[in-house]
Amino acid sequence: MAGTGYYTHRDCWLHEMGAAHPECPARLDAIEDRLLIAGVMDMLQRREAPKASIHDLELAHTRMHVAALRGLDLFMQEELLAGGDGYSQVDPDTQFCPHTWNAALRAAGAVLAATDAVLGGELDNAFCAVRPPGHHAEHDKAMGFCFINNVALGVKYALHRHQLERVAVVDFDVHHGNGTEDILAGEAGALMVGFFQHPFYPFSGEKPKGENMLNIALPAYTKGMDVREVIDMMWVPRLEAFRPQLIFISAGFDAHREDDMGQMQLGENDYAWMTQIIKDIADRHAAGRIVSSLEGGYVPDALARSVEAHLRVLAGL
């Protein structure tokens, strides 16, 4: 049964980092409400995200990192039973709560299950409406709202479990995907292309860590047409030459002009255009196979409109 999959799980709503935190469960509510009202959800194949296995997590992360997260989860459960507030600070912006581990397992599991379904021919492509996001998580470190690097894990899984030879990542979040670069730099068979606002958190990306990295630093207030020119001139030739057999998208929507997390000037039409470019390349080289996973996007209405635009293109609506 081909079509576009929509992977999520209610566990992804339970992870939270405090009442005022921008990376909040309301992001998923806004997406689902918009897709339901617009009638897009009816055109998608909704699937429950399974939990990723520890064995699979270690494709992208060190055993010590995974063990530390599991240990922190056990500690949080004990703290909660003892009447604690249920939070542990991972970095200045990132907190671990009693539901974080299960949510992270579901987010990673969504990407792996989507990869299986797309490569198995059950789906043409898929979108993972999950949180916590992943592209800042490095091989041995959680940071920037991220604990497990869902997309980098998907790439490793496709290369080493499915034995693909060429897998690409496209990252259009406003922040540099430092974790994805950390995990995939120098990986035979992987290519990462992206753009990001610079200088900006996490203050990396200007100097590539490997020849398979093409992450383009752009100044604040860059407009959509300028981003499109960069994509046409730099991303597209590199992706065409690479001929990916599967494309992952780190789908961050915080470069939207209404999102105050960054200062770039994209709109929904730009996300639709980018998605179409990626889809065309996937159609030419990868039998249309795309797995997209939610990263940033912190103004609920702008996020929801952008995801709708993204999914309309993926689903051919």
**61 included as an active-site residue:** no
* Two structure tokens written together for 122: 């059950």
d(CA 226, CA 221) in angstroms, rounded, equals 10
Q: How far is CA 108 from CA 170, 288, 294, 302, 307, in A?
A: 17, 22, 11, 25, 19
Give the residue among 135, 127, 75 at the shortest CA–CA distance from 100: 75
- Which one from 136, 175, 285, 310 is the annotated catalytic residue? 136
Give the SS3 label for residue 280.
Answer: helix
In the block, residue with structure tokens 């995801």? 307
Cross-strand pairs, 25: none
Buried b (16+ CB within 10 A) or exposed e, 147-169: bbbbbbbbbbbbbeeeebebbbb
**Angle CA 23–255–172, to nearest 5:** 95
Enzyme catalytic residues:
136
